[in-house]
Copies of this chain bind each other. A is one copy, B any other.
Amino acid sequence: MGVRNLEYPKEATNTVKRYNAHAVYALETIHRIVNSSQILHVSFNTTSQPFPVTLPMIGQMGSFDRPSADLGDPLELYLHGYVSSRLMNTCQNSNSGDSNPGEPSRMPVCIAASHVDGLVLTLTSYSHNYNYRSTVLFGYATHVKDEEEKLYAMELITNSVVPDRWRHTRLPPTKAEIQSTGILKVRIASGSAKISAGQASDDKTDMANETMLDSTWTGVLPLYQTMGTPVPSSYNRMDVPGYISEFANDFNADNTELSLGAAKGERRAL
């Protein structure tokens, strides 16, 4: 936990109404949930249809201006996508009215990340629930043009997939690779998270129902992501290196532990 324990201010946009005892506004927790998600769901509007559009993307919180910033500091979200994709184009051509003349166009986006940590089975379907960690961020996306900042984001995102992977790949990326990699930077306007953890719980009336208690299993089915044994490519020549096997072992241990901890009521993010 950072020394300052910064929080996103509670405003109309981000205030959690339902189960607000589960709400978290701490930057560190919110950023942690984003960074541990392999997929972020990025939503935005286009002028051509009434529906928001949601794309699954890879992203990571970071700070190009202050790369040493930690997770509890104000950060931007860097998103990776192919340069001609719908979101990149929409952002490029955005006329949302939020930009001043001469400034890069910026597009309002909503980013969601969710992890399910367990299925909580109770006596009545009504009180069934999940143990989960979820977060939603609101912000304005701009297209990153600066080559140095793009490289910063590419390294950040590659290392978020497998820690330390960047320096084990062919470097530097070619000009063509950099040019056709689209990077969006989202300046965060607000955000919130919800963490739910705990065991089954039923109300008094059902707890007095001996027949139900005798005939219904109640408890938590823990759920967690597992990384299996690495499958080498046909042209791979190496044993699995330490930075990959350690990552896989840590990933499995951390996820299992969090899921089992959640079943005991431990509310935390990875």
CB-CB < 8 A to A122: which residues of B? 169, 233
Which residues of A in the span 247-270 have a Cβ within 8 Å of any Cβ on B? 248, 256, 259-260, 263
Docked complex Cα distance between A119 and B248 (Å): 11
Q: Which residue of B lies closest to A98 (CB)?
A: B50
> Which of B44, B216, B221 contacts A227, CB < 8 Å?
B221
Give the size of the chain A interface in residues (CB under 8 angstroms): 105
Copy number in the complex reads 2
Q: Are A223 and B217 in contact (CB under 8 A)?
A: no
Q: Are B38 and A41 in contact (CB under 8 A)?
A: no
Q: Are B241 and A168 in contact (CB under 8 A)?
A: no
Q: Are A234 and B199 in contact (CB under 8 A)?
A: yes
Q: Which residue of B lies closest to A206 (CB)?
A: B170
Q: Are A84 and B18 in contact (CB under 8 A)?
A: yes
Q: Which residue of B lies closest to A109 (CB)?
A: B51
Docked complex Cα distance between A209 and B235 (Å): 12
Q: How far in angstroms is the closest Cβ of chain B from A89?
A: 9
Interface residue? A219 (CB, 8 A): yes
Q: Are B38 and A134 in contact (CB under 8 A)?
A: no
Docked complex Cα distance between A125 and B54 (Å): 25
Docked complex Cα distance between A209 and B250 (Å): 31
Docked complex Cα distance between A139 and B202 (Å): 35
CB-CB < 8 A to A237: which residues of B? 213-214
Contact with B along A130-160 (1 / 0, CB 8 A): 1010101011000000000000001100100
> Which of B112, B125, B132, B263 contacts A173, CB < 8 Å?
B125
Docked complex Cα distance between A158 and B130 (Å): 12
> Which of B111, B119, B230, B232 contacts A161, CB < 8 Å?
B119
CB-CB < 8 A to A170: which residues of B? 123-124, 206, 209, 212, 216
Residues of A near any B CB (own CB < 8 A): 12-13, 17-18, 38-39, 41, 43-45, 48-56, 58, 82, 84-86, 96, 98, 108-112, 114, 116, 119, 121-126, 128, 130, 132, 134, 136, 138-139, 154-155, 158, 161-162, 165-166, 168-170, 173-174, 177, 181, 189, 199-202, 206-207, 209, 212-241, 244, 248, 256, 259-260, 263
